Structure 1
Amino acid sequence: MVLHDFVKIDKSRFNDAIKAYFLWKELNALIKNSHNRGINFPETISETLLCSAMGFELKRGTGGDARDPKTNEIIEAKATSNWDKDTTSFSPKEAFDLLYFLRLNQRDDELYIYNSGISSETLKLIQVNKSQTLEDQQKQGRRPRFSVIKLIIEAQNIQPVAKIELRTKKVIKL
């Protein structure tokens, strides 16, 4: 039996995540000055900010990243620090009730939160290449990769449900 540990994100954890964001952003900029690629947006930052903004509990353990305490739904969070594009991967055994996508606008230090409305079962139907769905690749033990922005957010015209203004530490429900 797997025990899950849920953490409520209080103001102190939220402020720590914002501080970590600005430290990450500075390190990322320094690295990008001398290398082609930067550092991925850390999930410890994005998941904490998502939980704070949406009232979720951060999940420690396996099977999703968060839990909605009102519905007990398991939340999977995926994020990109590149506003225009993403390549997101999913493990072969991920199971969740709702996929949330976080899209960072580094220039303005704003994090946009999208509720895709998609579960892990619905996600399996996504066509990741000309001949395979996400489920086809998962059955092969692969980590399917595709653009959530292109194949879900833009394809279904999904609008953000919240925005975090990182400079002012303000959460705005949209």
Structure 2
Amino acid sequence: MMDRFVVMSVSGCGKSSIGAAFAAQIGARFVDADDLHPQSNIAKMAAGNALTDDDRRPWLEIVERSFAQAEGPLVIACSALKRSYRDIIRETAAAPVAHLHLDGARDVIAQRMAAGQDHIMPTTLLDSQFAALEPLGTDEVGTRVDIDQVPDASVAELVAHFREDRT
């Protein structure tokens, strides 16, 4: 029975809003991994500089520990762009982790980022995120949902997939 989820995508896909709504629907606690970034990472992104793998590793280890220490169902919104990042999260998560990939066209995402507020990452870094993105492998537990629909539809699709896996 799956009760650990990473809502993953490039910036601007709605990881936080969709992840929080998904968590509420399944009775899970929600954490936004953006809140777990070290201040140095936040400053680097705010200055328009992409994070390196070395920058991300301590952050991903915090995400991993959040799963390992969780009591009960947990949903974390985290970019988890590369397979190696997802592997770090799965290392000692204490239970299987499913990755829920919010996928969409670059133009749609750029428009959403430009219209949104409170993003720690500027739109100028979107191309670097798409360059780093590695879709889920066939051996990874998870699913993909197209975000070119209203957020409630994306949440409903994820909940339906989750419920199918529980039966």
TM-score, normalised relative to structure 2 = 0.32
* Larger-Rg structure: 1
More relative contact order, 1 or 2 (CA 8 Å, 6+ apart): 2
TM-score, normalised relative to structure 1 = 0.31
The structure carrying a bigger strand percent of its residues is 1
The structure carrying a bigger helix percent of its residues is 2
